[in-house]
Amino acid sequence: MNKKWECYDVDENKVEQLVKENKVNELLARILVNKGITQPNEIELFLHPTRKDFHDPFLMPDMEKIVDRLLKAMEHKEKIIIYGDYDADGITSITVLKSFLEERGLAVSYYIPNRLDEGYGLNKEAIKKIYDDGFRLMLTVDCGITGVEEVDYANSLGMEVYITDHHEPADKLPNAKAVVDAKRKDNEYPFNQLAGVGVVFKLIQALSIKLGLEEKEYLKYLDIVCIGTISDIVPLVDENRVIAKLGLKLVAQTKNIGLKTLLDIIGFKTIDSSAISFGVAPRINACGRMGNEQIALDLFLSKDKEEAKKLAIQLNEYNAERQRIEKQIFEEAVEKIEADEKEKSCIIVGSENWHHGIIGIVASKVTEMYFKPSILICFEGEEGKGSGRSIPGFDLHEALMRCGSHLTKFGGHAMAVGVTVKTAEFEAFKEELEAYAKTCKIDEIVPILNVDSELTLKKIDIESVRSLQMLEPFGEANKMPIFLFKNLKINSIRALSEGKHLKLTLKDDNFMVNAIGFNMGDLSEKYLLDDRVDIVGSLDINSFNGRDSIQIVLKDIRKSYE
């Protein structure tokens, strides 16, 4: 598919000024200018954040209330239950809060709803069970902000509910004793994009301040907080960047037995955002997707090396099973799409045999492959549950608001939704959404590659490429920079891994560079030796046989017309 390359209009004067005044190289200066980070204090904060860069936790709505109540609970040795979520953000949130409160002498239990049986968030059956088990004080983490009816039900039983969350509230807040969420309309906290575990971190920071504890008593949890933050794909800017940047340093030397064991089993050479996003997060989330969320939590709470090893192996096995099922569903979905849906504006397919804990990942892959919004449905008798993903420029949630008359329920946001539909209404829903999608002219939406700067091979060297690591951690709102190189000559070209990947050697005058295109192996037949090409890609250091060299990781390639 053709992609549109859009280069930043780089202010060369500002780049030159940054190089002179801030002791950064030109390559790094270009990225900082693109991000609007040009003042010395901004540069220092972005490149070298410290523990002094956290905001005041008491600026968060209702923080004082929840802190005072927990201090009272500590004084009277009350027992508490934490109600969390089954994904990596929820699991790490429970881990941090439970561990911190137990160190203060509280008896803390937890409840995680089963993804397959109960779904996300508070539910009345779970609340009744919690009440029957003798709990009267409940804290939520990474959920609860939309649980208006459920909190009213808990109140009717005589329970106290304190909510910590980071999701968007509805028009009406739950009638809880405290609602700590920086997305509240009356919020005065300077950053409202924390993950659920980030909000928990602010809570233990506030408790530590009130208790007069040393900073290390809450900072020591930054490894786990970092895992949840990166895993939840929140923007890695402002306080999230501080959490992730400092947290990654702790992850590399973590004292959490479960996390260390998992990292050892995964075997990533470098502990960076990619190790979390592609190594740790999928394994935690696989447990929840497969309906065994307990395993991931047990791993992070484990104090025994042998137990941790067994649990980490289980996480690996669940992830492998998730990958197998995902591959099977993807192949079946593509077969259906190629047969009937390929020309549609919006891809909607369903099957009785699909695992509804995994179809969200497959929907993401389908959307990426076809660059169209997609919804995959898993039918279970008279009802189907599904997940949808969208493309920039098409608000999928808005689409469902306009044509969701055939849906039992739905929720989500512009880029991702969850739906429930009666099986008998599925075809009518498809027709209604497709008719709306056609009016939005989805076929005219072109994927855009935002290019940080045009470079020449002679302008880059190993040290300047290494300096880009200072921009880590990469993630949402802080993408790995990509660069444009024009009119390069193909010196060698071949496919790797049974035709899956593309390997190139490219030349510009006397300068040579290697390039690799993952999942681009089919292009080895399209280009020939001595062809002139323009490429877009990220810069990487390839270490082989003790020798480091620059490598370009391709994002796109086209023939040069210069």
With a pLDDT cut of 90, the percent of the chain lying above it is 83
What's the one-letter identity of residue 158? Answer: G
Task: Report the alpha-carbon distance of residue 288 to residue 304 in Å, rounded.
Answer: 23
Residue 112 DSSP label = -
Q: Work out the end-to-end distance of the chain between its first and last CA atoms, rounded to an integer number of angstroms.
A: 22
**Domain extents in the chain:** 4-48+449-559, 57-220, 343-444
Query: H-type helices in 104-212, by residue range?
Result: 124-132, 148-157, 196-211
Q: Which amino acid is at 391?
A: I
Structure confidence at residue 77 (pLDDT): 93
401-428, pLDDT tens digit by residue? 888 888 988 887 889 888 999 999 999 9
What 3-state class would DSSP assign to 501? strand
Q: For domain 4-48+449-559, which architecture applies?
A: Beta Barrel (2.40)
Which architecture characterizes domain 57-220 according to CATH?
A: Alpha-Beta Complex (3.90)
* H or E segment to which residue 91 belongs: helix 88-103
Burial of 450 by CB count in 10 Å (0-12 exposed, 13-18 middle, 19+ buried)?
Answer: middle
pLDDT digits (tens, 9 = 90+) for 121-169: 899 999 999 999 999 999 999 999 989 999 999 999 999 999 999 998 8
Tell whether the model's pLDDT for residue 185 goes beyond 60: yes
Say if residue 562's pLDDT is above 60.
no
Residue type at position 317: E
How far apart, in Å, are the Cα atoms of 89 and each of 96, 128, 163, 362?
11, 25, 15, 21
Nearest-angstrom CA–CA distance, 326 and 364 = 11
Split at pLDDT 50, 70, 90, the class of 1 is low
Q: What mean pLDDT comes out for the span 294-306?
A: 96
Q: Is the dihedral of CA 512, 518, 520, 525 positive or negative?
A: positive
Tens-place pLDDT, residues 480-536: 999 999 999 999 999 998 889 999 999 998 899 999 999 899 999 899 999 999 999
Which residues make beta-bridge pairs with 380? 383
* pLDDT above 90: residue 120: no
**pLDDT tens by residue, 83-113:** 999 999 999 999 999 999 999 999 999 999 9
pLDDT at 2 over 90: no
Beta bridge partners of 161: 138
Tell me the Ramachandran region of residue 227: left when phi exceeds 0, alpha when psi lies from -120 to 50, beta otherwise: alpha
Instruction: Report percent pLDDT > 70 for the chain.
Output: 100
CB-based burial of residue 73 (10 Å sphere; 0-12 exposed, 13-18 middle, 19+ buried)?
buried
Q: How far apart are CA 412 and CA 404, in angstroms?
A: 13
Output DSSP code: residue 58: G
pLDDT tens readout for residues 310-336: 999 999 999 999 999 999 999 999 999
Structure token pair of residue 321: 């099973």
Residues 117 and 110 sit within 8 Å (Cβ to Cβ): no
Class for the domain spanning 343-444: alpha beta
How far, in Å, CA of 3 to CA of 197, rounded?
Answer: 36
User: Closest by alpha carbon to 318, among 273, 285, 343, 286?
Assistant: 286
- In angstroms, rounded to a whole number, what is the distance separating the alpha carbons of residues 453 and 450? 9
pLDDT at residue 253 in the model: 95
Other Cβ atoms closer than 10 A to 167: 16
Token representation of residue 22 = 């801030």
Which pLDDT does position 325 carry in this prediction? 95
Burial 49-71 (b: 16+ CB within 10 A, else e): beeeebbebeebbbbeebbebbe
